[in-house]
């Protein structure tokens, strides 16, 4: 890559071709995102300055990002942010990158608990395995009458989730607790109106087939759901009734082809009305939900 007369457009065209040759899935998009990040600009700014030449320091900084990306480091770890529910979140290595399909959890929760201004009855929510905090924060934004608790086994994840809550001025609305699944809320029996989770659900044997961005960079602990991918769904569904209030709801994200199995896991407990599943925008059965039986 020659340092002379590299305009924004020439740089983008070269990078797109280079990424394409390296098997990067969205070469033009990645090139634009990285250049905008490197220049501390928006992507729209690039379109308005195609003829602008890059300075040597700008070009050098951009080259460093290109080197990281061709090693298949995820774009989100390089830029250190990801959008979710039209909100910007900080992300970091060692913590799962939020996926757009997880927004289906938020959509379904809001169908059950629609937006109502306080002083309506408080909704107590538990987000298990909060990661960077996106589900808890999105719900706190939408459910102004919500009291949100969020747990994660990773102290690094809890630290980042708290930081994200602070960015969105919700640090006083959400209680983040470090610990495994229900362990941090053992005393809150019969308390939650909604328990929601995007637990690990990749079957252990499938890791070899995942994209390098996932298997080589994202934390396995946040992805590996055991032999069938259902280790945590089984644990959650067998324990959750103790923590749900009368007529409380359980809502779980699942992987492709897992919905019917998770429905059966929930119904086997005999603590819930018949469970159902919801498809995401790609048509994949993505969320399983069930209502606890009343006393």
- Domain membership of residue 1 (yes or no) is no
Residue 167 included in any domain: yes
Tokens representing 277?
């599943």
pLDDT digit string (tens) for 157-209? 999 999 999 999 999 999 999 999 999 999 999 999 999 999 999 999 999 99
| 90 and 67 assigned to the same domain | no
* pLDDT at site 144: 80
Does 202 lie in the same domain as 67? no
Looking at the fold, whether 143 and 196 belong to one and the same domain comes out as yes
245 and 107 in a single domain? The answer is yes
Residue 79 lies in a domain: no
Same domain flag for 111 and 174: yes
Residue 225 lies in a domain: yes
Of 18, 42, 71, the residue that ends a domain is 71
pLDDT digits (tens, 9 = 90+) for 197-229: 999 999 999 999 999 999 999 999 999 999 999
- Chosen domain end from 71, 97, 118: 71
29, 46, 71 - which closes a domain: 71
pLDDT at residue 4, rounded to an integer? 62
Strands 285-291 and 87-90, by their bridges, are unpaired
CATH code, 149: 3.40.50.150
Question: What is the C-alpha separation between 77 and 242, in angstroms, rounded?
Answer: 38
| 66 shares a domain with 93 | no
Identify the domain containing residue 232 by its residue range. Answer: 86-291
Give the pairing type, strands 192-197 and 123-128. parallel
Same domain, residue pair 284 and 187: yes
Do residues 179 and 273 share a domain? yes
Both 61 and 203 in one domain: the answer is: no
Residue that has been written with the tokens 């897992």 in this structure: 258
Contact 254, 263 (CB under 8 A): no
Residue 145 lies in a domain: yes
Number of domains within the chain? 2
pLDDT of residue 121: 81
Q: Is 72 helix (H, G, I), strand (E, B) or coil?
A: coil
Q: Specify whether 62 is located in the same domain as 102.
A: no
Q: Is 268 inside a domain boundary?
A: yes
CA distance 48 to 257: 45
- The verdict on residue 2 lying in a domain is no
Residue 66 domain flag: yes
Residues 41 and 180 in one domain: no
Shared domain check, 215 and 170: yes
Ranges of the chain whose pLDDT falls below 70:
1-4, 115-120, 295
User: How far is 271 from 259, CA to CA, in rounded Å?
Assistant: 18
pTM of the model: 0.91
């Amino acid at each position: 890559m020659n340092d002379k007369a590299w305009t924004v457009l020439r740089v983008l065209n070269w990078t797109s071709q280079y990424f394409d040759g390296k098997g990067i899935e969205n070469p033009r998009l990645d090139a634009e995102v990285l250049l905008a990040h490197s220049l501390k600009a928006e992507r729209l700014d690039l379109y308005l300055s195609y003829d602008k030449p890059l300075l040597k320091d700008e070009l050098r900084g951009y080259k460093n990002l290109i080197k990281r990306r061709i090693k298949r480091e995820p774009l989100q770890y390089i830029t250190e942010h990801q959008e979710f529910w039209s909100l910007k979140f900080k992300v970091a290595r060692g913590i799962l990158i939020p996926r757009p399909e997880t927004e289906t959890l938020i959509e379904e929760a809001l169908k059950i608990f629609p937006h109502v201004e306080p002083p309506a009855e408080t909704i107590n929510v538990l987000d298990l395995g909060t990661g960077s905090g996106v589900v808890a924060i999105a719900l706190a934004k939408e459910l102004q009458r919500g009291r949100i608790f969020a747990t994660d086994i990773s102290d690094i994840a809890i630290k980042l989730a708290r930081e994200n809550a602070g960015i969105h001025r919700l640090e006083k609305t959400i209680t983040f607790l470090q610990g495994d699944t229900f362990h941090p809320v053992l005393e809150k029996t019969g308390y939650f109106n909604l328990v929601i989770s995007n637990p690990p659900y990749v079957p252990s044997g499938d890791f070899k087939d995942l994209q390098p961005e996932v298997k080589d960079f994202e934390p396995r602990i946040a992805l590996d759901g055991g032999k069938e991918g259902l280790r945590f769904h089984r644990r959650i569904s067998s324990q959750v009734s103790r923590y749900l209030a009368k007529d409380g709801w359980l809502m779980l994200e699942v992987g492709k082809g897992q919905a019917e199995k998770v429905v059966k896991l929930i119904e086997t407990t005999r603590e819930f009305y018949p469970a159902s599943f919801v498809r995401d925008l790609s048509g994949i059965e993505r969320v399983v939900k069930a209502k606890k039986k009343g006393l």
